[in-house]
Amino acid sequence: MNKGKYVFSRLLEFLDPFVFLRISKKYGGDKYVKSFSCWNQLAVLMFGQLSNRESLRDVALATQALSGKAYHLGFGKYATKSNLSKANKNRDYRIFEEFAYYVIADARKCRATDIFKLNGHVYAFDSTTIELCLETFKWALLRKNQGKGGIKIHTLFDVETSIPTFFHITEARVHDMNAMDVIPYEKSSFYIFDRGYNDFKRLYALESIGAYFVVRGKKNNDFKPMKWKRRFPSGSGILSDAIGYMDGQLTMGKYPDKIRMPSESKFTPQLLRIV
C-alpha cells in the first residue's frame, strides 16, 4: 500500500490554490458549478500535458483509469469528456492566464541572478507557428492556396532566468513585427529581436521609454556611419563597430537619433540603441 504522496500531487503543491480561487471568483469561474471546479479543470489539463495525452478523449480516459486515485492525485474527481469540453468552452480564459502570469512572476523571483550586471532585464522576443486543421479552425487561415491553417505564439523570454514571461497569440498570417505593439516594455531593460522586427518606428518607440534593443539588421538597411572602428583583438568575433544614422528619407523620419551597428560578419550586422 502506498503511504506517500504521488509525484503529480507534489507538483500541484507548488501552486497556490487560494490565489487561484481568488482569481476564479473574480471571473465567476465556479458560479453554479457543483462538482468539476476550475481547480479540477486545471489539474486535469496539467496531468494531460505532462502525461503527453493527445486529445480531450485521451485525457478523460486517462483520468477515468485512475478514478480510484483521483483524490490523492489532486483531481478531486476524474473528468468526463463532456464535462471537460464544456469547461474549456464556457469558462473565462483569463482565470488561467492571470494565474499563469502569477506563477511566472513567482518563479522569476526564485531564479533572479542578474548575471549580465546591466541594471535591467535581458529579454529575447520571437514567435513560433503551430499548424491547425483548417477544416476545424476555419478562422486560422494561413495560406489560402495551400489550404493551411495555424496560429502564432509570440513569446518574450527572460534570458537570465530562462523563463518565458509574456505570451501573445495571433493568427499565423499576422506579421511578427505587429506583436511588438503589445510587449510590456520595461525601462532600462534590453530586448533582442530577429531580422523580422526591423521596424524603426516601433524601435524608436521602445527607445523613447528608456529601454534598449538589439535587432539583426538587413543587408539593404540605409545606414550611414559617422564613426567607424575596424580593428579589434583577434578572437573577439567582432569585425567592425560603427555609429551613425539611418540615411533614408523614410527611416530617418522614423528613427532620427544615432544608432549603433556592430558586425560579427559581413553578412549579419546588428543594430543597437546607443548605450
Q: Model confidence over 216-274: pLDDT tens digits?
A: 887 778 888 888 777 767 666 677 788 888 888 888 888 989 888 887 665 556 766 65
* Rounded-to-integer distance, Cα 239 and Cα 227, Å: 14
Q: 1: which 3 cell numbers? A: 500500500
Evaluate whether residue 62 is within a structural domain: yes
Domain region containing 35 = 9-99
Residue 220 CB contacts under 8 Å (≥ 6 apart), including other chains? none
* Phi, psi of 246, rounded to the nearest 5 degrees: -80, 120
Four-residue CA torsion sign, 39, 43, 49, 53: negative
Evaluate whether residue 30 is within a structural domain: yes
| Measured CA angle at 18 (ends 16, 19), to 5 deg | 70
The pLDDT score that the predictor gives to residue 167 is: 94
**Considering its fold, how many domains does the chain have in total?**
1
What's the start-to-end Cα distance of the chain, in Å? 63
Q: 134: which 3 cell numbers? A: 483548417
Evaluate whether residue 122 is within a structural domain: no
Among candidates 222, 229, 220, which has minimal Cα distance to 255?
222
The pLDDT score that the predictor gives to residue 273 is: 66
Residue 202 CB contacts under 8 Å (≥ 6 apart), including other chains? 177, 180, 181
Look over the chain and give the mean of its residue pLDDT values, rounded to a whole number.
86
Reported as a single tens digit per residue, the pLDDT across 3-20 is 678 889 999 999 999 999
The pLDDT score that the predictor gives to residue 25 is: 94
Evaluate whether residue 73 is within a structural domain: yes
Distance of CA 6 to the CA centre of its chain: 30
Reported as a single tens digit per residue, the pLDDT across 113-150 is 777 778 889 999 999 998 888 887 888 877 766 667 88
Distance of CA 93 to the CA centre of its chain: 16
With a pLDDT cut of 70, the percent of the chain lying above it is 91
The full DSSP string for 71-132 is: HHHT-SSPPPHHHHHHHHHHS-THHHHHHHHHHHHHHHHHH---TT-SSS-EEEEEEEEEEE
Evaluate whether residue 251 is within a structural domain: no
158 falls in which pLDDT band (50, 70, 90)? very high
Q: Within 10 A of 25 (CB to CB), how many other CB atoms are there?
A: 13
Evaluate whether residue 265 is within a structural domain: no
* Rounded-to-integer distance, Cα 39 and Cα 2, Å: 25
* Rounded-to-integer distance, Cα 153 and Cα 174, Å: 11
Radius of gyration of the chain (CA): 24
Evaluate whether residue 34 is within a structural domain: yes
Evaluate whether residue 25 is within a structural domain: yes
